Structure 1
Amino acid sequence: MRIDRSADWANPIPPVRREVLSATPEVDEGRPPLLFVPGFGHGAWLFAEHWLEHAAGRGFPAHAVSLRGHGGSGNAPGAGLRAYAHDVVQAAASLPRQAVLIGHGAGALVVAHALARYAARAAVLVSPVLGGWETLGVALRRNPAGTIPALAGAPLRISRRQLFGRELPEDQARAYASRVRHASRRAQYQLITHRAPEPPVGAPPVLVIGSQHDRIVSPSALTKAARRFGGAPLLFPGMGHDLMLDTRWREPIDAILDWLEKKN
């Protein structure tokens, strides 16, 4: 099968400053590096809060990249999915060994696109927002006040009740929610209208994890995402969309690392 990427030559992605936060093990055991990709509105800080150091403590070099226009990366008002996937591929290619790509929320969709351009060791989709009309339908049902204005070009607004589980203390939820920003209008629009990602290069193993109590991603969407890659989702009841900030944040990251140890 021939894949035409003439747009890459005719309209190259402009360079931008990329923020990458890292935590590395005290002793390099040769394990594959992990590259965490946050979803829209989040930055690398999402994983630096707990998961990076925890993964490093278990022997995995851990890195998180902020997509352009997010976190500490350079501004990019008109960036879309192609530019975001480019950021992930470039960050992964800079690592010394073949990386595992781990995307959260809409960052999972970015990872799915990046997998068609980068031969990852494996991939993990966390609370994946893979877009399409089903995503829009769930958003309209569960968050009409924040979604309807976004259809007219306003930033998509997501409440902290959608992001976090009930166990997270209110003051922490407020503090985390205050750090969430907005993706570009173009990226918001493409989340609904994008073409399905091309098949991954090299057919890497893919794990899908989430919670049936996620107020952004429905249980059926988790199942559909996992079936796309030939598996079933690994679920963590009672947790919110941002699993890595929950009071039980250790459970999903340990499950991911256990899975990687078995695969590698």
Structure 2
Amino acid sequence: MVPGLECQSHAAHGAPLDAPPLLFVHGAYCAAWVWEEYFLPWFAQRGWHATAISLEGHGDSRGHAWLAALGIDDFARNVHAVVKTMPRPPVLIGHSMGGFVVQRYLEMHRQHPPAGVALMASVPPFGINASAWRMLTTAPDLLAALNLFQANEHYHPDLDQAQRLLFSADVDRERLRDWVRRFQPESMRAIFDLSMISLFPVSHLPAVPALVLGAANDQLIAPHEVVATACRLGVTAEILPDMAHLMMLDTHWEEAAKRLEGWLRATWG
């Protein structure tokens, strides 16, 4: 769709819905593949045209050589480049860091907003510092493993660490092993952006249809942080039970997909 940016798309099966297309934006340390595993085919089978972008420096997109210099605004521009190729404004669906990228996209494109947004376990408006401090006190070994992975591309957290940080206890171990191998270091500039945003006032966002979901067992984004994100968008946060941070891959991923599709159909169906 856009030269140099990987996009994985699934056309709607059967009679497509008269509704906006969906554009999924991944979080830190991964790429479009996290949506390809379950969500893209699941939504396509239900009549939605579903696309996932790999942000610059991620997956098979350009930019790995300069990943460290890429910031949140660069990622929001990546999203905009894909949006411009779509036949109508999409619903932007962002997870974790991708949720903050979507928030920044709304700030940067107030005059031409997307059809709507859905944020899943999103980084809150005040960034990641509270999450880092919480992990320092409750799970310092996991924070150390995350920092070591960021500093050394040849190091990967072991399966138990990855499961405790990102997944439910009953996640499929074989799938987990494959997913951990696909994780990649994140942009230092993006992490800096997410750390420094707390120093600036939170701006209002344009009014668009919005859904904000959190995960009850999330080790990274606490429920009160999900509430803060929802307040910024003028909606009520929803915390899904029996769910960990990587909601689109976790054991009960279909519950998150069903809630998202229920909202989509209620808004555009």
Instruction: Please report the TM-score for the alignment, with normalisation by the length of structure 1.
Output: 0.86
Query: What is the alpha-carbon distance in structure 2 between the residues aligned to residue 132 and residue 47 of structure 1?
Result: 23
Q: CA deviation at 1:29?
A: 3.0
Structure 2, unaligned runs of 5 or more? none
Query: What is the alpha-carbon distance in structure 2 between the residues aligned to residue 143 and residue 106 of structure 1?
Result: 20
AA aligned to 2:254 is R
Query: What is the alpha-carbon distance in structure 2 between the residues aligned to residue 180 and residue 73 of structure 1?
Result: 15
SS at match of 1:96: coil
Corresponding residue for 2:135? 139
AA aligned to 1:45 is W
AA aligned to 1:139 is M
Corresponding residue for 1:154? 151
AA aligned to 1:67 is L
8 Å Cα contact 1:136/1:192 also seen in 2:
no
State whether structure 2 residue 200 is matched by structure 1 residue 183: no
State whether structure 2 residue 84 is matched by structure 1 residue 93: yes
Mapping for residues 189-204 of structure 1, pairs under 5 Å: 189-194=192-197, 195=200, 198-201=203-206, 203-204=207-208
8 Å Cα contact 1:155/1:183 also seen in 2:
no
AA aligned to 2:188 is R
Query: What is the alpha-carbon distance in structure 1 between the residues aligned to residue 219 and residue 58 of structure 2?
Result: 23
Mapping for residues 69-108 of structure 1, pairs under 5 Å: 69-75=57-63, 76-77=66-67, 78-108=69-99
User: Percent of aligned pairs with the same residue?
Assistant: 30
Q: How many residues align?
A: 248
8 Å Cα contact 1:42/1:179 also seen in 2:
yes
8 Å Cα contact 1:168/1:247 also seen in 2:
yes
8 Å Cα contact 1:36/1:63 also seen in 2:
yes
Evaluate the alpha carbon distance shift between residue 176 and residue 80 of structure 1 in structure 2; reply closer, same or farther with a 3 A threshold: same
* CA root-mean-square deviation: 2.3
Corresponding residue for 1:228? 232
Structure 1, unaligned runs of 5 or more? 1-14
Q: CA deviation at 1:147?
A: 3.8
Deviations 1:52-96 (A, max 9, x none): 011111111000001111111112321011101100111112111
Q: CA deviation at 1:170?
A: 2.1
Match of 1:170 among 167, 170, 173: 173
Match of 1:127 among 121, 124, 129: 121
Larger helix proportion, structure 1 or 2?
Answer: 2
Query: What is the alpha-carbon distance in structure 1 between the residues aligned to residue 128 and residue 231 of structure 2?
Result: 16
Corresponding residue for 1:9? none
